Amino acid sequence: MKKILLTLLIPALLSFSFSPSGTITKPAKGKAVVYFVRTTLIGMLAPFSYFDKDKFIGRFSGPGYIRYECEPGEHIFWGRADNEDFMTANLQADKIYLVEAVVLTYGVRLKVVNVREDEKRANRVLRTIGNKDASITTAEEADKETERLKDAIQEALKKYDEKVAKKRIIERMEKDMFY
């Protein structure tokens, strides 16, 4: 009888999704939060920088994440390594969104983590958040980097405009893709 119970109980316990929600913090009232997460050791020495249109958010190498609190509404997020990759987003107030920064041989690709459609990606991202401390960039540091990188930011945004003009596919995060 014990063997039968264990045979039934163990698979049931293992079927639950890992969700370390204790490490995910809600936004301030009326704000939205986006977690930019890098999950792999591949290319861990290459730093990725993250931006909200013309504003520097932060930078880190290897597995980790940035928690970015912002105004709800439309955003152009992008990551920079040896390339730039863009994502548009329509964020809802009081919601949390997840973005995975995928390491490619030539740089970074930002991927929306839709927890309702891609449980495997969501679990990988949530595990990383649960196992790492956030990379923190102060507002003062972000402002200094934004100023230092202003020419590179303008060049990257021109590339974004060219992609839009050529109707190239750009990753899109919708309001209902929250965590």
pLDDT tens, residue by residue, 75-96:
999 999 989 999 999 999 999 9
Average pLDDT value for the chain: 87
* Ordered domains of the chain (ranges, CATH): 31-171 (2.60.40)
Positive or negative torsion for Cα 5, 9, 10, 12? positive
Q: What is the pLDDT of residues 89-120, one digit of tens each?
A: 999 999 999 999 998 887 899 999 999 999 99
Contact criterion met (CB below 8 Å) for 136 and 36: no
Q: What is the DSSP string of 58-80?
A: EEE-SSEEEEEEE-SEEEEEEEE
* pTM score of the predicted model: 0.84
